[in-house]
Amino acid sequence: MKTKFIFITGGVVSGLGKGISGASIGALLEGRGLHVSFMKLDPYINVDAGTMNPFQHGEVFVTEDGAETDLDLGHYERFTNAVLTRKNNFTTGQIYDSVIRKERAGEYLGSTIQVVPHIIDEMKEKVRESTEKADVAIVEIGGTAGDIESLPFLEAIRQLRHDYGRENTLFIHLTLIVYVGNGEMKTKPTQHSVGKLREIGIQPDILICRTKDPMPQEIKKKIAMFTNVETEAVINGIDVGSVYEVPLMFHQEGLDDKIVEYLNMWTGRPKLHEWAETVDRFRNPVAEVTIAFVGKYVQHEDAYESLNEALIHGGIANRLRVNLQYVDSEELEQGKISQFLEGADGILVAHGFGERGTEGKIEAVKYARINEVPFFGICLGMQMAVIEFARNVAQIPNASSGEITPDHSENVIDLMPEQEGVEGTGGTMRLGGYSAKLKKGTLIASIYESEDIVERHRHRYEVMNRFLPQLEKAGMVISGRHSERDLVETIELNDHPWFLGCQYHPELKSKPLKPHPLFASFIAASYSFRQSLQQAVASVEKD
């Protein structure tokens, strides 16, 4: 079957949820038995998301093949079975870089290189290459209709409709219904946003209107009249308690029926029972746990998007509400340990780069180790756990990391010899999927129910093997290794109820319908810790 294309654009304001909408549409179509793929076209000039400030751009999502991409690819993978690659995210910078390289190599035979046709043709070709094996390709255009930087992408999808025809292409536009005065709904911004698209030749087929409340039928009719869209194609995008309710909400609105009608596709009814069960488990927990989330970018939650969601998935797996208590690691450096960590049922120390806040993360590890609070360290979090144990247990008092103290004799974390002198952004990093062999009989092997795993990485520094005998003698268990290069992948402590660190990012593979086992186990352990404390308090009160 020829690939059908759904192009998603946004208007009025940014941040309306195009990524969640696209992911939810993918989930609905996948539920109908279709093979779905995704693509995100970002208008910024950066060549990739890897060096962008997380406060500005949010999380960097890493694909299995090691691409550093936009966080929306995380939404796509969480909501569906799609496994995306570097071909599924392109920026304006990448497009121009590709065209310039071709021009330098003489591929254009001396032609004058222009936005039309060369840049636009490159964009179209990237869309085709990344989606050719899918039944339906969902392509999201970053930015807002009317922005100068997104105009080339809009022209590219306009031409793709011309190339493939109306039955094979569908335009969905996401807008905002504005409330004024006493709560009156205003549609003019939506009308103007659609007008911007129509000026360049794109007529939306479906409108998804973000709104707090369902739109009355007369509002839908008004929008339809002034945007040239069918009334039944004006869809409520109502605010919901969890993003995982969006597929069910869209289905209730009839969005998936409208899509397959417009694309002239025959499918069965979607199988959504797993989504319904997941939403029910989220809405109706039997209890709750509080997790102290220790990081350096906690003021901007998008910087930890996948990690936030994976913790929620762990709660769904256990039918528990997960309350995240965000802790800026720099606050812990000021002696505020009890203020931020007491009362937590589990402590997670997150990933990050750079020296800032590392001593606070080390203090969080120490608190969790001494007080036997369930601890989970991810990437830099694991490295800080190794440093804390080395300093306070393994008698390496000045243990540190090459990221903090370069050329220091007691750097238990440092660059590998082959990484020295490598130039270029990301050149020294381990990116994407790497295998690990787990030690039989360890906690982590029992959680995975396997001794062979593949997980995604994004880091530069490694645990130095020359310190391992001293660490292991003091009681640290090196429970997982990357065999090919003999690199430490996971650590744990036998004399602690639940203490795990992993060099990789398990959150990148967690889904609401299939929570990652490490997060499910961590949340379960945190709940057990909470119950034991409650029982202890009850026993004291009884006496």
Active site residue 507: yes
Give the angle subtended at the CA of 195 by the CAs of 189 and 197, to the nearest 5°.
115
Q: Does residue 233 sit in the same domain as residue 296?
A: no
Establish if 470 belongs to a structural domain: yes
Q: Does residue 297 sit in the same domain as residue 156?
A: no
Mean pLDDT (10-residue bins), the chain, 543 residues? 92 91 98 96 85 71 94 96 95 95 93 94 94 93 92 96 96 96 91 96 97 95 97 96 96 96 92 96 98 90 91 98 95 84 95 89 97 97 98 96 93 83 60 97 98 96 97 98 95 97 98 98 98 83 67
Domain final residue, candidates 277, 306, 331: 277
Q: Does residue 75 sit in the same domain as residue 152?
A: yes
Q: Does residue 160 sit in the same domain as residue 292?
A: no
Decide: 156 and 116 in contact? Cβ < 8 Å: no
* CATH, residue 206: 3.40.50.300
**In whole angstroms, how far apart are CA 431 and each of 77, 195, 421, 451?**
18, 42, 18, 22
Name the strand (E) or helix (H) holding 24. helix 18-31
Decide: 33 and 265 in contact? Cβ < 8 Å: no
**In whole angstroms, how far apart are CA 69 and each of 40, 51, 424, 458?**
9, 10, 18, 12
Give the angle subtended at the CA of 431 by the CAs of 357 and 133, to the nearest 5°.
135
Three-state DSSP string of 508-521: HHCCCCCCCHHHHH
The predicted structure's pLDDT at residue 419: 62
pTM of the predicted model, to two decimals? 0.94
DSSP string, 133-186: T-SEEEEEEPS-TT-STTHHHHHHHHHHHHHH-GGGEEEEEEEE-EEETTTEEE
* CATH, residue 512: 3.40.50.880
Q: Does residue 218 sit in the same domain as residue 245?
A: yes
Establish if 543 belongs to a structural domain: no
The predicted structure's pLDDT at residue 427: 53
The predicted structure's pLDDT at residue 15: 86
The predicted structure's pLDDT at residue 543: 63
Domain final residue, candidates 218, 251, 277: 277
**In whole angstroms, how far apart are CA 188 and each of 179, 181, 233, 252?**
11, 15, 18, 26
Our count of domains for the chain comes to 2
Q: Does residue 125 sit in the same domain as residue 11?
A: yes
Catalytic residue among 173, 251, 505, 516: 505
* Integer-rounded Cα radius of gyration of the chain: 25
Establish if 512 belongs to a structural domain: yes
Q: Is 439 helix (H, G, I), strand (E, B) or coil?
A: coil
Q: Does residue 377 sit in the same domain as residue 404?
A: yes
Establish if 421 belongs to a structural domain: no
Q: Does residue 335 sit in the same domain as residue 270?
A: no
The predicted structure's pLDDT at residue 417: 76
User: Residue 402 is which amino acid?
Assistant: G
Distance CA 337, CA 333 (A): 8
Active site residue 192: no
Establish if 31 belongs to a structural domain: yes
Q: Is the peptide bond before 117 cis (omega within 30 degrees of 0)?
A: yes
* Residue listed under structure tokens 């079975």: 81
Q: Does residue 106 sit in the same domain as residue 250?
A: yes
Domain that holds residue 10: 4-277
The predicted structure's pLDDT at residue 418: 66
Establish if 541 belongs to a structural domain: no
User: Residue 488 is which amino acid?
Assistant: V
| Residue 358: φ, ψ to 5° | -70, -35
The predicted structure's pLDDT at residue 425: 47
Distance CA 503, CA 382 (A): 6
Neighbours of 497 (CB within 10 A): 14
Establish if 539 belongs to a structural domain: no
Catalytic residue among 173, 209, 379, 482: 379
Domain final residue, candidates 260, 277, 294: 277
Active site residue 379: yes
Q: Does residue 20 sit in the same domain as residue 150?
A: yes
Decide: 307 and 349 in contact? Cβ < 8 Å: no
Distance CA 478, CA 476 (A): 6
Contact partners, residue 543, CB within 8 Å, separation at least 6: none
Neighbours of 133 (CB within 10 A): 9
* Residue listed under structure tokens 């589990």: 346
Per the DSSP assignment, residues forming a β-bridge with 91 are 42
Decide: 169 and 3 in contact? Cβ < 8 Å: no
Q: Does residue 137 sit in the same domain as residue 261?
A: yes
Establish if 135 belongs to a structural domain: yes
Decide: 58 and 289 in contact? Cβ < 8 Å: no
* Residue listed under structure tokens 């609070």: 373
- For 141, how many CA atoms within 13 A lie in the half-sphere containing its CB? 29
Q: Does residue 91 sit in the same domain as residue 166?
A: yes
Catalytic residue among 68, 253, 489, 507: 507
